[in-house]
């Protein structure tokens, strides 16, 4: 029985030690580099409005990433992340317009405030599972606009009138427009935060977070302090979405209670699911979906725009039940298998102890989800389904 | 005929210019064609946003009737020979969507101006943007008082009598009819509701604290407003200022009748549509309700032979067949468009944004078919409130009966 | 005192609305172990169909029965067509399907029937009950019908084999399958019943709040609150929860100074959170114990 400590064998070393060098990361790196190049070039080919839309895609992608950290990686449902988005937006608006603070300082402030609020929300959330947590966050999302309009806070929030936010100025020496500057600023922030999230996922903390999602009891038995991790994840998730909200305030240049209704929270959730839970690039796809598909639906039929949007959502979710990222992963898997058929049956050629550990867990009946983003060894083709079927067959063969 | 090569054309150029020169230079200055963005010899592009979906979709009749009006204008040949391309997008009554759609209209569709954005929070979201980019925001479909701000926002102009002026009119009426009365106001907890509240409070002046007993707000997500109505009766109110949207206004009217509460019931123009509010509430329950009007009520039989009304019905039958003609939104929308049509006519061939704004601020005694007789549209460089007058009416035996003189509650 | 009594009665009347919705919510929950966010829209759509039948001249009770049956069939159809292919996918993919359904129904309502509010008749009349201005005959009728439906559901689940089979299928599909229960059809049946209950609820609510595509939006939140308060596994609890939420909402709105009126939604939120903190299964729900 392998012990959990062997989990810490660095994956790269295992790869170098004997297995064939996987082709996956190379392709991935090229794709990332190309995407980055396109992203940097884009604002120079489009005019103001499209740049604004692309900025919004990134902002929504970042907000969805926040939700992804909580729901996709940690398994805590939230139907109310629009509230954190709104909170971040209002922090920025109040700091800039009431206290005259420069826009770049408002981002860490928005993140900090949302982190604290997220932790405070996360504490009682410890007692709630799945559905009930969804309900509470649902109620919070519905109640937020009313709270923002509350006349007791009007001095700060501007009440129903909202607050107009000035567009950030371009630093004097750059020959670009304000829209382009905001685009690059957002791009920079987004890359930074995605890198942070990626690091978090691959670290021990990330694995702990995912372990809590997959099997909370086993995780606790292994010594992971679930309450601490869950609460902190809530905080970090809120931080991400709050920063997205702050950027949103800068892009739209206006915050008002009616901008942050339940519909926003639902949009984030839809974007997350369609993009693919537990996938970082999927968040951007989700952002694209949330921004563009309603417009597409409207151009199809103005009177029935909502219905068309619903039908498109259904088509997408039927075609890609695990979201776009899941679809890409499966497609890439098929492609790899087609080009390099597996040499031997699954379960025998286990190149690294980590794979052995996972294999044994699966054979014992635990469906271990592969941490997303970690390269699949070509030798390891077990899907959780196959392992489960095998396990079931073994169990049913045992005398009752 | 020798094939005209480039060298030959270039060689001929000076001669042509010399001969034709006078034609270019001595042209009379009258029909100077001056075009802003979105204008060609044959087309003017105009942008609009409205709630075709979402919680405020009951107001979709307003932009729909505008679109239909411009179709009618195009069928009649357009304005000064140009067809109007009226691009109307759905913003679902959410301000960020309004921002996105208006930016699209300005930066991608290159419209000349943005007309009749519907709603107060939505129009507020693009208020600064349009003024910053010097794009006319004409005839905003909202009664918020802030559109009348020529100094601060010279590119935005309202249309209907604003909510604060209506609130003042209600206050004046209450002071006249029930000087010692206790007033309860039902208002929606957002921009327009609070505008009414302010107007009412200001209009009551020093007596506000004594008279305004119950200020009950509601949210559009509330199921009913029964609780608010009950509170007012319990507080002893005998004047009820009902500024709610049709759904909740109708509920309030019904509930008041059910609990046998008969105050002086003042209904705002938002909720005074017969088809949208009073019919569901029940004509018996609505007996004696007071409201203020500036547009003709399509269900009022007195307009049967009125030329303006007949025009409107013909317009509706042809361009919006099957639409509910008791819905006042169709009246408002078509009249908003008619006002804009006048501005475009006045512009002639000088269709720059500056001139559009100038003409919008130069409407004198202009009327449109469905305005009440005697009410005129007037604007000037210091007056961005086109319609200021209303007339009171009482609901009797199933129809609104106008009474009294034209009133104006202009905000000082 | 008069005010208190009136607000309580008004709260009960509102509460009947929430209770009807909460009942449909619990019904679905018992059948499929999830919440159906499109419940309100399904009810609204059914009510519109009823309105259309009435407009075409059908007598009230015929239209009523017809719509309940059509809703039943419709609910089954939705489950078979939309959710059966998705039942292996994660719960969140199913959530997208719920949201899509919500969107389609809401938009479809507005397109077909317009956004102007419509009146819907009530079979109970609106005369003051026993001459009192505290409650009228329709509100009493609403409460009565809700209780009758509740009794029927209770009898169905506790007293019939089909009800037992349905509960088994929802709680433990694998074992249920092993004893011969057709789990797929049990789920479909649950949907059909929930749709039918929702239709009844919609037709009772419409006379009070007026029929329009967004009729159920606010009601849904309070319905969820009521279902949570009473217990998602207990139909009786849901009904009581619905009434309680109605009363709490009204009393808090009237009597809590300064914040009560403006923060009614927040109060609903606080109710939900408080209940879930103290007793997650709701007042009458059953605490589930699962083996690890």
| Least confident span in A232-241, C130-139, C168-177 | C130-139
Give the DSSP letter of residue B365. Answer: S
Tell me the C-alpha distance between A46 and A57, whole Å: 15
Q: Report chain A residues whose CB lies below 8 A from the CB of C265.
A: 139, 142-143, 146
Beta-carbon separation of A258 and B121 below 8 A = yes
pLDDT in tens, B235-283: 899 999 999 988 899 999 998 988 889 999 999 988 888 877 888 888 9
Beta-carbon separation of B230 and C217 below 8 A = no
Using the predicted structure, report yes or no on whether residue A13 has a pLDDT greater than 70.
Answer: no
Say if A152 is an interface residue toward chain B (CB within 8 Å).
Answer: no
Q: Are A68 and A277 in contact (CB under 8 A)?
A: yes
- Closest to B243 (Cα-Cα) out of B284, B289, B176: B289
Which residues in chain B (56-115) have CB-CB distances under 8 A to chain A? 89-90, 92-96, 99-100, 103-104, 106-108
Predicted local distance difference test score (pLDDT) of residue C254: 76
- Two structure tokens written together for A217: 């009891």
Residue C95 or residue B386, greater confidence: B386
The helix or strand, by DSSP H or E, that contains position B35, with its residue range, turns out to be: strand B34-35
pLDDT in tens, A318-328: 888 777 888 88
- Two structure tokens written together for C176: 């249920």
| Neighbouring residues of A215: CB distance < 8 A, sequence distance ≥ 6 | A366
Nearest to A217 among C35, C225, C292 (CB): C292
Confidence of residue C46 (pLDDT cuts 50, 70, 90): very high
* Closest approach of B128 to chain C, Cα-based (Å): 29
Beta-carbon separation of B107 and A48 below 8 A = yes
Predicted local distance difference test score (pLDDT) of residue C93: 79
| Least confident span in A79-88, A165-174, A222-231 | A165-174
Highest mean pLDDT among A17-31, C85-99, C158-172: C158-172
Q: Mutate which of A52, A147, A256 to test chain B, going by most B C-beta atoms within 10 A?
A: A256
Using the predicted structure, report yes or no on whether residue A270 has a pLDDT greater than 80.
Answer: yes
Beta-carbon separation of C103 and A71 below 8 A = no
Beta-carbon separation of B275 and C133 below 8 A = no
- Residue identified by tokens 């699949």 is A376
Beta-carbon separation of A302 and B129 below 8 A = no
Using the predicted structure, report yes or no on whether residue B26 has a pLDDT greater than 50.
Answer: no
Predicted local distance difference test score (pLDDT) of residue A12: 44
Q: Are C126 and C138 in contact (CB under 8 A)?
A: yes
pLDDT in tens, A111-148: 999 999 999 888 888 877 777 788 778 877 877 887 78
Using the predicted structure, report yes or no on whether residue B379 has a pLDDT greater than 50.
Answer: yes
Nearest to C96 among A134, A142, A317 (CB): A317
Tell me the C-alpha distance between A67 and A241, whole Å: 7
* Closest approach of A352 to chain B, Cα-based (Å): 51
Cα dihedral A278, A282, A283, A285 in deg (nearest 10)? -160
Q: Report chain A residues whose CB lies below 8 A from the CB of B189.
A: 146, 149, 160
Say if A146 is an interface residue toward chain B (CB within 8 Å).
Answer: yes
ipTM exceeding the 0.85 mark = no
- Count other C-beta atoms under 10 Å from residue B362's C-beta: 14
Cβ-in-10-Å burial (0-12, 13-18, 19+) of B75 comes to exposed
Beta-carbon separation of B60 and C250 below 8 A = no
- Two structure tokens written together for B30: 């009258």
Beta-carbon separation of B58 and C208 below 8 A = no
Q: Where are the alpha helices (DSSP H) in chain A?
A: 11-17, 24-41, 48-67, 81-97, 103-125, 130-149, 154-157, 178-202, 204-214, 216-221, 226-252, 262-275, 280-300, 305-319, 323-339, 353-363, 384-397
The helix or strand, by DSSP H or E, that contains position B87, with its residue range, turns out to be: strand B83-90
- Closest to B71 (Cα-Cα) out of B320, B298, B296: B320
Q: Report chain C residues whose CB lies below 8 A from the CB of A315.
A: none
Question: What are the beta bridge partners of residue A133?
Answer: none
CA distances for B2 relative to A70, A329, C288, angstroms: 79, 68, 98
Predicted local distance difference test score (pLDDT) of residue C142: 83
Predicted local distance difference test score (pLDDT) of residue B340: 95
Domains, chain C, with CATH or none: 2-278 (1.10.3470)
Tell me the C-alpha distance between A22 and A16, whole Å: 10
Beta-carbon separation of B121 and A50 below 8 A = no
Chain C residues with CB-CB distance to B under 8 A?
Answer: 2-3, 6-7, 10-11, 13-14, 17-18, 107, 110, 114-119, 126, 128, 133, 136, 205, 208-210, 212-214, 217-219, 221-222, 249-250, 253-254, 261-262, 264-265
pLDDT in tens, A74-94: 888 888 899 999 999 999 999
- Count other C-beta atoms under 10 Å from residue A263's C-beta: 15
Confidence of residue B66 (pLDDT cuts 50, 70, 90): very high
Predicted local distance difference test score (pLDDT) of residue C183: 84
Cα dihedral B246, B248, B254, B256 in deg (nearest 10)? -120
b/e for C185-224, b at 16 or more Cβ within 10 A? ebbbbbbbbbbbbbbbbbbbbbbbbbbbbbbbbbbbbbbb
- Count other C-beta atoms under 10 Å from residue C8's C-beta: 17
Beta-carbon separation of B94 and A149 below 8 A = no
Confidence of residue C264 (pLDDT cuts 50, 70, 90): confident
Give how far the C-alpha of residue A208 lies from the chain's centroid of Cα atoms, to the nearest Å: 17
Nearest to B107 among A47, A160, A258 (CB): A47
Beta-carbon separation of B128 and A164 below 8 A = yes
Residue of B nearest to A306 (CA): B53
Nearest to A162 among B54, B121, B221 (CB): B121
pLDDT in tens, B109-164: 999 999 999 988 889 889 989 998 999 999 999 988 889 999 999 999 999 998 99
pLDDT in tens, A354-399: 666 666 666 665 655 555 444 444 334 455 556 666 667 777 765 5
- Closest to C258 (Cα-Cα) out of A179, A6, A180, B217: B217
Parallel, antiparallel, or unpaired for β B183-188 and B137-138?
unpaired
Beta-carbon separation of A52 and B90 below 8 A = no
The helix or strand, by DSSP H or E, that contains position B216, with its residue range, turns out to be: strand B212-218
* Closest approach of B290 to chain C, Cα-based (Å): 21
Beta-carbon separation of B280 and C210 below 8 A = yes
Q: Report chain C residues whose CB lies below 8 A from the CB of A273.
A: 92-93, 95-96
| Neighbouring residues of A358: CB distance < 8 A, sequence distance ≥ 6 | A368, A370, A380
Predicted local distance difference test score (pLDDT) of residue A10: 42
pLDDT in tens, C74-101: 999 998 888 888 777 777 778 888 888 9
Give the DSSP letter of residue C232. Answer: T
Span C155-175, average pLDDT:
85
Tell me the C-alpha distance between A279 and C159, whole Å: 48
User: What mean pLDDT value characterizes chain A?
Assistant: 79
Q: How wide is the angle at C-alpha B382 spanned by C-alphas B377 and B386, nearest 5°?
A: 20
* Closest approach of C260 to chain A, Cα-based (Å): 11
Residue B365 or residue C96, greater confidence: B365
Which residues in chain B (192-221) have CB-CB distances under 8 A to chain A? 194, 219, 221
Span C265-280, average pLDDT:
76
The helix or strand, by DSSP H or E, that contains position A2, with its residue range, turns out to be: none
The total number of residues shown for chain C amounts to 292
Tell me the C-alpha distance between A353 and C172, whole Å: 36
- Closest to A298 (Cα-Cα) out of C263, C107, B311: C107
Nearest to C253 among B223, B227, B280 (CB): B227
Nearest to A259 among B53, B96, B103 (CB): B96
Using the predicted structure, report yes or no on whether residue A19 has a pLDDT greater than 70.
Answer: no
- Count other C-beta atoms under 10 Å from residue C34's C-beta: 17
- Looking at chain A, the whole-number percentage of residues with pLDDT higher than 90 is 20
Q: Are A231 and A60 in contact (CB under 8 A)?
A: no
Nearest to C266 among A124, A146, A303 (CB): A146
Parallel, antiparallel, or unpaired for β B389-396 and B399-408?
antiparallel
Beta-carbon separation of A311 and C266 below 8 A = no
Tell me the C-alpha distance between A310 and C99, whole Å: 7
pLDDT in tens, B76-93: 999 999 999 999 998 888
pLDDT in tens, C106-120: 888 888 887 778 888
- Backbone phi and psi for residue C39, each to the nearest 5 degrees, phi listed first: -55, -45
Q: Mutate which of A273, A300, A302, A395 to test chain C, going by most C C-beta atoms within 10 A?
A: A273
- Two structure tokens written together for A381: 């083709």
User: What mean pLDDT value characterizes chain B?
Assistant: 87
Query: C126: helix, coil or strand?
Result: coil
Nearest to A270 among C82, C99, C258 (CB): C99
- Residue identified by tokens 């419509």 is C118
pLDDT in tens, C211-262: 988 888 878 878 888 888 888 888 888 888 889 888 888 887 777 766 656 6
Nearest to C96 among A134, A143, A273 (CB): A273
Tell me the C-alpha distance between A57 and C208, whole Å: 42
Residue of C nearest to B236 (CA): C3
Q: Report chain A residues whose CB lies below 8 A from the CB of B194.
A: 159-160
Predicted local distance difference test score (pLDDT) of residue C73: 95
Residue of A nearest to B54 (CA): A306
Beta-carbon separation of A321 and C90 below 8 A = yes
Predicted local distance difference test score (pLDDT) of residue B20: 46
Nearest to B217 among C10, C114, C262 (CB): C262
Predicted local distance difference test score (pLDDT) of residue B23: 47
Predicted local distance difference test score (pLDDT) of residue B8: 59
Beta-carbon separation of B125 and A254 below 8 A = yes
- Backbone phi and psi for residue B221, each to the nearest 5 degrees, phi listed first: -85, -5
User: Per-domain residue ranges for chain A?
Assistant: 37-339, 353-392
Q: Are B382 and B273 in contact (CB under 8 A)?
A: no
Query: C92: helix, coil or strand?
Result: helix
Beta-carbon separation of C10 and B55 below 8 A = no
User: What mean pLDDT value characterizes chain C?
Assistant: 83
Q: Which CATH number fits domain A37-339: 3.10.450, 1.10.40, 1.10.3470, 2.60.120?
A: 1.10.3470
Using the predicted structure, report yes or no on whether residue B1 has a pLDDT greater than 50.
Answer: no
Give the DSSP letter of residue A20. Answer: P
Say if B175 is an interface residue toward chain A (CB within 8 Å).
Answer: no
Nearest to A161 among B103, B124, B129 (CB): B124
Q: Where are the alpha helices (DSSP H) in A99-215?
A: 103-125, 130-149, 154-157, 178-202, 204-214
* Closest approach of B116 to chain C, Cα-based (Å): 20
Residue A168 or residue B187, greater confidence: B187
Using the predicted structure, report yes or no on whether residue A53 has a pLDDT greater than 80.
Answer: yes
């Amino acid at each position: 029985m392998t012990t959990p400590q062997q989990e810490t064998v660095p994956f790269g070393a295992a790869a170098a030690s004997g297995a064939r060098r996987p082709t996956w990361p190379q392709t991935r790196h090229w794709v990332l580099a190309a995407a980055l190049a396109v992203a940097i070039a884009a604002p120079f080919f489009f005019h103001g409005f499209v740049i604004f839309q692309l900025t919004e895609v990134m902002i929504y992608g970042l907000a969805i990433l926040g939700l992804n950290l909580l729901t996709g990686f940690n398994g805590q449902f939230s139907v109310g992340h629009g509230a954190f988005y709104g909170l971040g937006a209002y922090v920025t608006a109040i700091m800039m317009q009431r206290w005259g603070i420069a826009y770049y300082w408002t981002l860490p402030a928005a993140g900090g405030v949302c982190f604290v609020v997220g932790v405070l929300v996360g504490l009682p959330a410890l007692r709630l599972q799945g559905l009930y947590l969804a309900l509470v966050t649902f109620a919070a999302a519905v109640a937020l606009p009313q709270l923002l309009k509350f006349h007791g806070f009007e001095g700060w929030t501007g009440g129903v009138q909202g607050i107009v936010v000035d567009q950030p100025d371009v630093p004097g020496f750059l020959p670009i427009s304000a829209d382009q500057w905001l685009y690059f600023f957002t791009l920079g922030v987004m890359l930074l935060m995605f890198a942070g999230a990626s690091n978090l996922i691959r670290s021990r903390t990330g694995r702990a977070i995912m372990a809590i999602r997959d099997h909370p009891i086993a995780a606790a038995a292994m010594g992971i302090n679930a309450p601490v991790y869950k609460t902190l994840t809530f905080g970090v998730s809120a931080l991400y979405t709050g920063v997205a909200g702050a950027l949103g305030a800068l892009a739209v240049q206006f915050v008002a209670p009616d901008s942050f209704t339940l519909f926003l929270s639902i949009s984030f959730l839809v974007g997350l699911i369609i993009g693919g839970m537990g996938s970082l690039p999927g968040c951007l796809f989700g952002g694209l979906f949330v921004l563009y598909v309603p417009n597409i639906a409207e151009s199809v039929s103005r009177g029935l725009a909502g219905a068309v949007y619903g039908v498109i959502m259904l088509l997408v979710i039927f075609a890609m039940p695990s979201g776009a990222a899941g679809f890409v992963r499966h497609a890439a898997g098929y492609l790899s298998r087609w080009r390099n058929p597996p040499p031997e049956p699954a379960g025998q050629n286990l190149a690294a102890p980590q794979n052995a550990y996972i294999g044994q867990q699966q054979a014992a009946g635990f469906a271990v989800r592969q941490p997303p983003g970690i390269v699949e060894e070509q030798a390891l083709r077990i899907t959780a389904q196959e392992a489960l079927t095998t396990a079931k067959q073994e169990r049913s063969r045992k005398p009752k | 005929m020798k094939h005209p090569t480039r060298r030959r054309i270039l060689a001929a150029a000076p001669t042509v210019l010399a001969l034709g020169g006078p034609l270019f230079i001595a042209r009379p200055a009258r029909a100077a064609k001056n075009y802003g963005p979105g204008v060609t010899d044959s087309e003017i592009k105009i942008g609009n946003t409205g709630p075709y979906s979402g919680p405020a979709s009951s107001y979709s009749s307003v932009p729909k009737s505008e679109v239909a009006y411009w179709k009618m204008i195009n069928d009649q040949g357009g304005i000064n020979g140009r067809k109007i391309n009226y691009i109307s997008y759905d913003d679902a009554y959410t301000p960020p969507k309004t921002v996105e759609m208006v930016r699209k209209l300005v930066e991608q569709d290159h419209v000349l101006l943005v007309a009749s954005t519907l709603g107060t929070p939505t129009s507020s979201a693009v208020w600064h943007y349009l003024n910053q980019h010097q794009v006319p925001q004409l005839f905003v479909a909202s009664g918020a008082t802030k559109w009348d701000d020529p100094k601060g926002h010279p590119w935005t102009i309202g249309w209907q009598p604003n909510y604060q002026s209506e609130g003042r009119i209600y206050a004046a009426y209450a002071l006249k009819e029930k000087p010692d009365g206790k007033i309860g106001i039902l208002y929606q907890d957002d921009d327009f509701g609070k505008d009414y509240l302010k107007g009412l409070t200001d209009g009551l002046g020093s007596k506000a604290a004594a008279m305004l007993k119950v200020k009950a707000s509601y949210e559009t997500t509330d199921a009913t407003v029964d609780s608010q109505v009950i509170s007012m009766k319990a507080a002893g109110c005998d004047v009820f200022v009902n500024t709610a949207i049709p759904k909740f206004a109708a509920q309030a009217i019904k509930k008041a009748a059910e609990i046998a509460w008969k105050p002086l019931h003042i209904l705002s123009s938002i909720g005074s549509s017969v088809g949208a509010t009073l019919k569901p509430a029940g004509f018996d329950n609505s007996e004696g309700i007071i409201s203020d009007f500036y547009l003709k009520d399509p269900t009022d039989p007195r307009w049967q032979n009125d030329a303006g009304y007949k025009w409107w019905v013909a317009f509706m039958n042809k361009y919006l067949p099957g639409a509910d003609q008791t819905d006042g939104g169709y009246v408002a929308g078509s009249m908003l468009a008619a006002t804009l049509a006048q501005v475009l006519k006045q512009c002639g061939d000088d269709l720059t944004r500056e001139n559009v704004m100038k003409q919008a601020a130069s409407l004198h005694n202009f009327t449109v078919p469905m305005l009440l007789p005697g009410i005129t549209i007037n604007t000037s460089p210091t007056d961005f409130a086109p319609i200021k007058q209303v007339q009171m009416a009482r609901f009797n035996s199933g129809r609104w009966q106008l009474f009294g003189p034209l009133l104006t509650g202009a905000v000082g | 005192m008069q005010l208190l009594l009136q607000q309580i009665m008004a709260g009960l009347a509102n509460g009947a609305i929430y209770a009807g919705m909460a009942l449909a919510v619990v019904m679905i929950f018992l059948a499929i172990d999830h919440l159906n966010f499109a419940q309100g829209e399904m009810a609204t759509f059914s009510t519109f169909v009823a309105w259309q039948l009435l407009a075409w001249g059908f007598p009230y009770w015929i239209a009523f029965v017809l719509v309940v049956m059509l809703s039943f069939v419709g609910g089954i159809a939705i489950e078979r067509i939309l959710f059966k292919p998705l039942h292996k996918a994660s719960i969140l993919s199913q959530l997208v399907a719920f949201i899509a359904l919500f969107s389609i129904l809401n938009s479809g309502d507005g397109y077909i029937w317009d956004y102007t509010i419509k009146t819907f008749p009530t079979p109970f009349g609106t005369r003051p009950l026993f001459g009192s201005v505290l409650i009228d005959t329709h509100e009493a009728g609403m409460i009565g019908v809700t209780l009758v439906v509740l009794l029927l559901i209770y009898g169905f689940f506790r007293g019939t084999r089909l009800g037992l089979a349905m509960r088994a299928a929802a709680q433990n599909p694998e074992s249920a399958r092993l004893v011969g229960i057709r789990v797929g059809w049990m789920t479909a049946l649950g949907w059909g019943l929930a749709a039918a209950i929702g239709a009844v609820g919609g037709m009772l609510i419409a006379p009070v709040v007026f029929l329009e595509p967004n009729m159920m939006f606010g009601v849904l939140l309070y319905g969820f609150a009521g279902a949570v308060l009473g217990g998602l596994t207990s139909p009786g609890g849901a009904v009581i929860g619905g009434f309680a939420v109605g009363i709490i909402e009204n009393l808090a709105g009237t009597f809590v100074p300064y914040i009560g009126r403006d923060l009614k939604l927040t109060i609903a939120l606080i109710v939900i959170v408080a209940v879930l903190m103290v007793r997650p299964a709701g007042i009458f729900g059953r605490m589930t114990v699962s083996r690890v």
